[in-house]
Amino acid sequence: MNLFDKKNKRHIVMFDIRTSSIGAFAFKKESGKLPEVLAFSKIPLRLLDAPGSSSMENSVLKTFEDTSKALTSSFKDVIPDMIFVVLSSPWFQSQTRSVKISRESPFIVTQKFLDDIIRDETDLFIKRSEETFSSRADQLEVLECAIMKITLNGYRVTEPIKKNAREMTMSLYLSASRREFIELIRESLIHNFGPVKIELKSEPLALFQILKDMIDCEEGFLTIDVGGEMTEVSLVRNCVIEGVGTFNKGGNFIIRRVASSLSTGLEEALSFIKSKSRGDLKEDIDQKISKILEIAGNEWRDGLVEALKIIGKSNTLPQNLVLTGGASGIEMLKQKSQSAELTPLTILGKPFNVIVFMPQDLESRINPGALDKKDTQLTLPLLLATDLIKNV
């Protein structure tokens, strides 16, 4: 089957690089129709007893190559129009920078004026990222430098060029990754797909750009993405990503806790968790797993509380919280996100309004094809793809 028939169609491939798995999707986009999923491949990363940065990166690169080959087996001798690669933590570093210019006399906003500010802010961001990645500036690559918001004299504008102002505020989102890691990703894609345009993105920006059209972004919202090894937290307020943070407890932490408590292997522990979610366990083992998940969930919740305090900078947080990631289907995590321990952090002093989307909730934006419309593990990549492919 030739998935990439070129007649009046655009075809896009998207890779979702996480700490639990590598997912790859092929999409078809036709004028007047919703983008449609044509093919899907997902390979889980090998569960490590004690993951380190080097072992995780090697595992990601090998699994990325395997996932590329699995997707290309669906079609041959065809080059897609575009490939997007979305990185989750810890494969990128990001920062939101707010720049305020104030002058007594009015000034005219020009493209060069904006470009100079962006260049200076990018240089500052790269210097900061050197410490995070333990790398020199020439070993890092900027992925994104996006203007999220510009206000002139206190009013938001979408076209600032040639306008007069005494005061300008600009909010920038910047992201970067290790150049060697990025180059290995590109080499793998070119090897498997041939010469093709490739864009690398960070998850928080792509997710923000689609969710801001689905949830009130002026009021704001939080996104909590439960990855394999990490949980990533993003705070959006006044239609700006105010900050991105992480803590080292993801879905694999829960699996390891079950494995340790039951003195069993990691794969068997994962099987127990899946069986519990389906209601397939006997009563005695179900109760035992429930107790383990409760304790692990409390530890995950405590990590979330600390991350939210840091990212919120002692300010109250928006009421809406979007829970995503492979482990978001664990009902326990949703309950912990609504627990009383988090209530004092919210603007209304009430439990978070936790939102968990399913693929079927996105059918007005994207056609999931043969994908399971109730699989929460597929929601995040479909949300990301909805944003990325809309302008292709």
Query: Within a 13 Å sphere around the CA of 229, how many CA atoms are in the beta-carbon half?
Result: 23
pLDDT of residue 53: 64
**219 pLDDT exceeds 80?**
yes
Alpha carbon 308 to chain centroid, angstroms: 17
Fold category of 94-176 in CATH? Dna Ligase; domain 1 (3.30.1490)
pLDDT of residue 76: 62
Q: Does domain 221-355 have CATH number 3.30.420.40?
A: yes
**328 pLDDT exceeds 60?**
no
- The residue behind tokens 């004690």 is 50
- For the segment 235-248, the average pLDDT, to the nearest whole number, is 94
147-181 burial, b if ≥16 CB within 10 A, otherwise e?
Answer: ebbbbbeeeeeeebeebebeebbbbbbbbbbbbeb
Q: Using 50, 70 and 90 to split pLDDT, how confident is the model at 6?
A: low
Phi, psi for 212 (deg, rounded to 5): -65, -15
Q: Helices in the chain by DSSP H: which ranges?
A: 53-72, 111-133, 179-193, 203-211, 251-262, 266-278, 283-312, 331-337, 379-388
Where in the chain is CATH 3.30.1490?
94-176
Q: What is the DSSP letter of 339?
A: S
Architecture of domain 10-91+179-211+359-391: 2-Layer Sandwich (3.30)
Q: Residue 275, SS3?
A: helix
Q: Using 50, 70 and 90 to split pLDDT, how confident is the model at 1?
A: very low
Name 224's bridge partners.
Answer: 233, 323
Query: Within a 13 Å sphere around the CA of 374, how many CA atoms are in the beta-carbon half?
Result: 1
Where in the chain is CATH 3.30.420.40?
10-91+179-211+359-391, 221-355
Mean pLDDT of the chain: 89
Give the Cα separation of 12 and 25 in Å (integer).
8
pLDDT of residue 197: 94
pLDDT tens readout for residues 46-57: 876 656 566 788
pLDDT of residue 5: 52
Q: Using 50, 70 and 90 to split pLDDT, how confident is the model at 130?
A: confident
CA distances from 215 to 192, 317, 352, 389 (A): 38, 15, 14, 20
pTM of structure: 0.89
Q: Residue 326, SS3?
A: helix
**309 pLDDT exceeds 70?**
yes
